[in-house]
Structure 1
Amino acid sequence: MNRSLVEMARCMLYHEGIDKEWWAEAVNTSAWIINRIPNTVTVKTPCEIVYQKKPQLKNLKVFGALGYGHIPDEKRRKLDAKAFKCRFLGYEDGVKGYRVLNVETGQVKIVRTVKVMETTSTGDFMTEVERDDKDEDVAAPHVTAPSRGQTQTLTIFNDEVVLLQHEVTTETAIVPAPSHPMITRSRTRYIEETTDPEEAEGR
C-alpha cells in the first residue's frame, strides 16, 4: 500500500479519535484527496489529467467530524426527526453523496445532504459550554491606608487593581532634636514669648 495513503489515513483516524476498524474508510478518503492534489511534476491533479477539467473542492469536509445527516421525506413521518447524528467518513464514487456513520446504529449510510460541524471537537457533540453561575466569594484586594504626605489612585483595568502612589511635596519645618533638657526649655520659652503678641506687647 502506498506510504502516503497510510500516513494520511493514520493521521485522520487519530485526529478525530476514530477506531482502527474504520481504516478502509480512511484510506479511501485519503485516495480521494490525493487524487485532487496537484502533482509536483505535471503541476496538475490526477483528476485533471484524466477528466481534462479541474476538480471541485467545495464539498471537502473533515474526516470523522461530527454532524447531522438529512433523512429524506419519503423515509420519515411528520413528527419524525429530519436528521440523525453521524460522523463523516468520506465520498461515494458514482453518485452525489457522502458516506457517514450513524452514531446510534453503527451503520454506514450514504446521504446527499449532511451538516458537518468541523469546528466541534471529538466528544463534544453540539454541546454548550457549561458555566457555573453560582455566586463565588471573591476576596477584595487589600489596600493599605495612605500615610501622611501620600495620595493613592486606584485604576481598575481588566479586573486588576493597580495601586499608584506618589509623594506630595509639602513644606515642613524641620527642627533638630535638642541635645540637652535645659536648651529645650529655653527654646520653648523663646518660641512662646515670640509667638504670643499680647505678652510681647505687655513686656
Structure 2
Amino acid sequence: MWLAFKLFASGALDAVLRGLSAALKWLLADWRNAVIAALAVFAAFHQFILNPRMSALVAQLQTSLTAEQAAHLGTVNAFLAASAQAQADAEANAARVRAEQETITHAKLADYRADLAALRARFERLRARDAAATDPRRADPAGLPQLPATPGRADAAPAQDRLPAARALSLDDALIASEQALQLQALIDWVAAQSAVRFTPEEPAE
C-alpha cells in the first residue's frame, strides 16, 4: 500500500514537472505565447477572485443604499404625517375659536336685548306715571280722581323708576342717552369676553 502510494506520488510529481517544463518551453518559444498566458492568468484571477469580491461589494452597497433610502423615506413620511397633524390641529383650533366667539356673541346679544327691553319698559312706566300725574281725570286704584302732582310725589316714586340725571332731559332724550350708554357697555363687555378667548391650541398634558 505504502509502496503503491510512493509510486503514484512519484509518477504524479514527474508528470507535473514534465508539464511545467513543457509549458515553460512553450512560453519561451514565442513571445505571443507569454501574452496569451498572461491573459489567461488575468482572466482566471478576474473570474475566480476579483468577480466574487466585486459582487460582494456591490451587494453590500445595494444593501446600504436600500437601508438609507428606507430611512429617508421614513423621515419624509414622518414629516408629512406631522404636517398633516399640525394642519388638522390648526383647523380644529380655528373651529373652536369661531365656536367660542359665536357663543359669546349670541350670549352678549341676548343680554343686550333683554337689558334694552327692560330699559324701555322702565321708561314706559315713567311715561305712564308722568301722564297720570298731569291728568286729573285719571283715577287711582280706589276709583277717585288723582290729585295733581306735588313736589313730594316724585320723591315717593319707586327707586327703580327714578332717573336723577334724566330730570334735566326729556324722557325721549333720556331714553336715547340710556340706550346709547347701554349699547356702549354691551360693546365693552363683548370685547372683554372676546379677548378672553384662547387663540392658541391647548398644550398637551405631560
Normalising by structure 2, we get a TM-score of 0.19
Higher normalized strand content (fraction of residues): 1
Q: Which has the larger radius of gyration?
A: 2
With CA pairs under 8 Å and 6+ residues apart, which has the higher RCO, 1 or 2?
Answer: 2
Higher normalized helix content (fraction of residues): 2
Normalising by structure 1, we get a TM-score of 0.19
